[in-house]
Amino acid sequence: MLKFGNTEYQCAMELTLDLIGGKWKSLILWHLGENTLRFSELRRSLPQVTQKMLTQQLRELEENGLIERFVYRQVPPKVEYSLSEAGRSLLPILATLCEWGINFVNEANAVKKAALSDE
């Protein structure tokens, strides 16, 4: 049993999926990569996400220590996001997931092509 914040998890996978799971969190982390991006830049790189959802996901990632938020005191306000040390430690894992997706698609396409040629 693991406890993080006010939540108890039955296993480490449950905790990990809670931290980076869902449609947007891992994509946000991936796009931040080694870059520092403003909110508008993140929004442009994820055109399907709503402003409300992006804000919510960024807050959760910041709350959990995976990203850092820098606010510049100027008018208009400028806010930038970057990966924390913990967030950067996820990059090799996210890269492996990306490679897996590419391999999966290539294999599925090869199987489909072979099946079509057998017809």
* SS3 sequence of the chain: CEEECCEEECCHHHHHHHHHCCCCHHHHHHHHCCCCEEHHHHHHHCCCCCHHHHHHHHHHHHHCCCEEEEEECCCCCEEEEEECHHHHCCHHHHHHHHHHHHHHHHHHHHHHHHHHHHC
Q: Above 90 in pLDDT, residue 66?
A: yes
pLDDT at 11: 94
Q: Above 90 in pLDDT, residue 76?
A: no
CATH class of 2-118: mainly alpha
Residue 97 binned pLDDT confidence (cut-offs 50, 70, 90) = very high
Which whole number is the average pLDDT over 57-61? 97
pLDDT at 1: 86
pLDDT at 79: 94
Question: What residues does each domain of the chain span?
Answer: 2-118
Q: Give the tens place of pLDDT for each residue, 2-28.
A: 999 899 999 999 999 999 998 999 999
